Amino acid sequence: MFSRKRTAAFALPLLVLAAACGKDNTSTGSTAAQPAALAPSATEVPAPIPAPAVPEKPVQKVEIQIASVANEMAFDKTALAVPAGAEVHLVLKNNATMSTLPHNWVLVKEGTEATVAAAGLKRGDKAGYVDVMDRDMLAFTPLAKPGETTEVTFSAPTEAGKYPYVCTMPGHYMMMKGVLTVTP
C-alpha cells in the first residue's frame, strides 16, 4: 500500500513534465515547418541525371618484347608488368648463336619454378620442355632455336601479384628468369 502511494506521488510530477515537453515540441514543430516552406524552390533544382551504366572495362592489350642475352642463359628483361586480366602478346627473340641454346618463356605461379621445370624436363624436347597439363604453368611459348622468334598470347592473371617466368630448357630455369608483376 505504502509503496503504491509513493509511485503515484512520483508519477504526477512526471506527467507535468511530459506535458511541458509536449508544449515545447509543438512550438519547435512550427519553426521546423520553415524549411518545409523552402521545399518548392528545392524542387526547382533539376533532378540529377542518372549516371550512364558503366560499360564493361575493355580488355587491355599489352605487347611485350623480350629476348635472350647473347649466348647467356638470361632474359634481357628480368621485370615485366601488365594490368590484371590484360590480353598479353609476348614475343621472345632468341639471340643465341650456339645451337645448344634454345629457349622458351614460361609464366608460373610463385614458388613453382622448379616443379614446372622438372615436369617440363620429363616431357622432353619434343614437348618443348613444358607439361601442358601442369596447372602451375600460366603461359608458355614454344622453344625458339638460336636466331629464332617465338610468341604467345595469353590472358594475364586476374589476381594482382608477382608471377615468376623462367626458361624451362634443362638447366636454365635457375638463371634464366624474371618476374612479371600483375597490377590491379
Instruction: Tell me whether residue 76 or residue 87 sits nearer to Cu ion (CB atom).
Output: 76
Nearest CA-CA partner of 167 in 41, 72, 46: 72
- When binding is defined by CB under 5 A, the residue of 143, 172, 178, 180 that contacts Cu ion is 172
| Shortest reach from residue 84's CB to Cu ion, in Å | 27
| Shortest reach from residue 120's CB to Cu ion, in Å | 11
Strand partners, 166: 106, 177
Q: Are 87 and 155 in contact (CB under 8 A)?
A: yes
Instruction: Tell me whether residue 86 or residue 166 sits nearer to Cu ion (CB atom).
Output: 166
Residue 181 parent element (H or E): strand 177-183
| Shortest reach from residue 150's CB to Cu ion, in Å | 11
Total interface residues for Cu ion by CB under 5 A: 5
| Shortest reach from residue 53's CB to Cu ion, in Å | 48
176 binds Cu ion, rule: CB under 5 A: yes
Q: Are 170 and 69 in contact (CB under 8 A)?
A: no
- When binding is defined by CB under 5 A, the residue of 169, 177, 180, 182 that contacts Cu ion is 169
Q: Which stretch binds Cu ion (CB under 5 A): 19-27, 57-65, 148-156, 166-174?
A: 166-174
Residues in CB range of 122: below 8 A, 6 or more apart:
131
Size of the chain, expressed as the number of residues it contains: 184
Alpha carbon distance, N-terminus to C-terminus of the chain: 75
By CB under 5 A, name the binding residues for Cu ion: 103, 167, 169, 172, 176
